[in-house]
Structure 1
Amino acid sequence: MNNIQPRYRQIADELRLLIASGRLKPGDALPTEMELCEAKDISRHTAREALRILTEDGLIARRRGAGTVVTTPPAPAFAQPIGDFESILQYARDAVFSPEKMRPATSAEMKRMGVDGSYITYTGLRRASGEAPLAVTTILVLNRLAPPMEELSHLNGSISEWIEGEHGAAVANVIQRMEAVALSKTDATRLGVKPDSPALRTLRRYIDTAGQTILVSESLHPAGRFAYEMKLTRQRK
């Protein structure tokens, strides 16, 4: 399988890294299409497509008298309220998981995600409304409940909902843990940010009525693309 990205995406990713690293700051001018053509030995069409991607991602904008400039960092592309189990299911529906690989879980993955037994690993990206990827996601599903790859590729809801519908294994509790981490070079490249960039790691363990972890998911959200929201109500006596 050929995983080489089109040249215009390579150029867009190079510019994205310059912006993420701070070498190109808000208000700084980007090279013109012709300057990109000369510097990168590419066609005008390739340069235009690279700039179009960054424009659609909200990283650059055309300003009168200044040309194409880096914009002020936008608000997070996706926000999820922290509340009940339904809000977690809604995240899985809105931030669609695009699976790329399926294989038996390794002992290192199970140790990192706090499970033991026979699990299947799915890896991929989460996206919302065709935007830049929100997260690199790894999902471990108990072997006997794991959906086929072709089923997962066309799933409209969450994997836990599919498991309940197909196998009758209902989720009783979800344990969620969040922490700040630095992205590895591999994950940073997939997300189009600089290696060691800050990210929010969200680990969710889905536990059935028998107390067994049937599914565990790990998502790495780069800074600026995801946020949690919590509403606190003051109780007055």
Structure 2
Amino acid sequence: MFTGIVEEVGILKKIVWGAHSAALTIQAKRVLSDAAVGDSIAVNGICLTVTSLETTAFTADVMHETLNRSSLKGAKPGMHVNLERAMAAGGRFGGHIVSGHVDGTGTIRQIRRDDNAVWFTITASPKLLRYIVEKGSITIDGISLTVAAVAADSFSVSTIPHTNAVTTLGERKAGDLVNLETDIIGKYVERLLQPMKTEEERNTVGKRNPETEQETSADRQGITKEFLAQYGF
């Protein structure tokens, strides 16, 4: 688990591409101070496993699913990446709960200054925006940020000078692709609120039964007599 507080900016030194995979070698310093093979390091918000270590660099494998979901499919040697070690038990919780499992990408639509702050407006797909709420948490390229506004096809964050100076956000420009991880709590709440099908219901999926085809709206929503009785109705 991570918290979205970037520890340092590393440099992508080398990429070895496979048919649908990659091996990244990243130059770093601080995150290597106590690193070992098998440790987890978030790279632009993506939880990667250290497969080999050098004095000033580490290598991590990237699989097909990760390339499909993240901006790493467009990675190039020399690019800067945000780095964070996995949170130690008893460590300071500076950001929010970040799993390092990127949900998808967004595109920076606009960057504008507002006195000492910088606003980033980012477009995202509806399947990601449904979990993004005003004043909620969002992870952008591994950075824990607060959502300042949400629109129909985008959301905005406002960043302080320190964040822009110690992360890759200060280098970003309109049109850039960024990794997004939405708040994990919202995803679990949605899943738990979905009605669970019984074994019998799962076995009859796709089978027609004329006696039960007159389905009601309540049935479709999972509201049954048992459900109402359970909650005192």
Based on CA coordinates, which of the two structures has the bigger radius of gyration? Answer: 2
TM over 0.5: no
Query: As a proportion of its length, which structure holds more strand?
Result: 2
Q: TM-score under structure 1 normalisation?
A: 0.28
Query: As a proportion of its length, which structure holds more helix?
Result: 1
